[in-house]
Amino acid sequence: MVIIFMIIVPSQNIFLTKSKTDVLSSQLMHAIALTRSESIARGEKVTLCGSRDQITCTYFNNMGYLIFSAEKMLYTLQNTTNDGVMHWQAFPNGRTDLQYLSSGLTNSENGTFWYCEKNASTPSFAVTVSQSGRPRVMSTAEIACGDYSCY
């Protein structure tokens, strides 16, 4: 009985960690898609940014997101877990948000989000956004070839 318990507990922890990162990845993809669709539907620039308090924009983290236009706040999204750190690297460098134009294209930018569990050395997942505005989850091999630091 003890042997079975020793096998099940570590497997369950791996399953729970994978489930959390799957949820975070889905939430991020949803936030990006929602921002893009709102910009097209409203016919104006719409911005996605990270937020710690669901009131003001900060750096992208795993606490939540704000989606807003020049006119008003559209959505506040709060993540269900916050054990790790979400990173965002945009090109051109220095952008702390992701903007979509009314055409559904990004505002002259592309970039990559990646999420690192607490004390991890490699990302659990990464999402890249092309200049055409389309996000996709990167494969493990693509993440391994990139410069996505968890430190």
pLDDT over threshold 80, residue 5: no
**Residue 128: phi, psi to the nearest 5?**
-105, 145
pLDDT over threshold 60, residue 15: no
Beta bridge partners of 92: none
pLDDT (tens digit per residue) in 121-134: 889 999 999 989 99
**List of domains in the chain:** 21-145 (3.55.40.10)
pLDDT (tens digit per residue) in 53-71: 888 888 777 678 999 999 8
* pLDDT mean over 95-115: 91
**Residue 15: phi, psi to the nearest 5?**
-60, -45
Q: 31 falls in which pLDDT band (50, 70, 90)?
A: very high
**97-129 as b/e, with b when 16 or more CB fall inside 10 Å?**
bbbbbeeebbbebbbbbbbbbeebeebbbbbbb
CA distance 46 to 106: 10
- pTM of the predicted model, to two decimals? 0.84
The 8-class DSSP code of residue 64 comes to: E
Predicted pLDDT at 91: 84
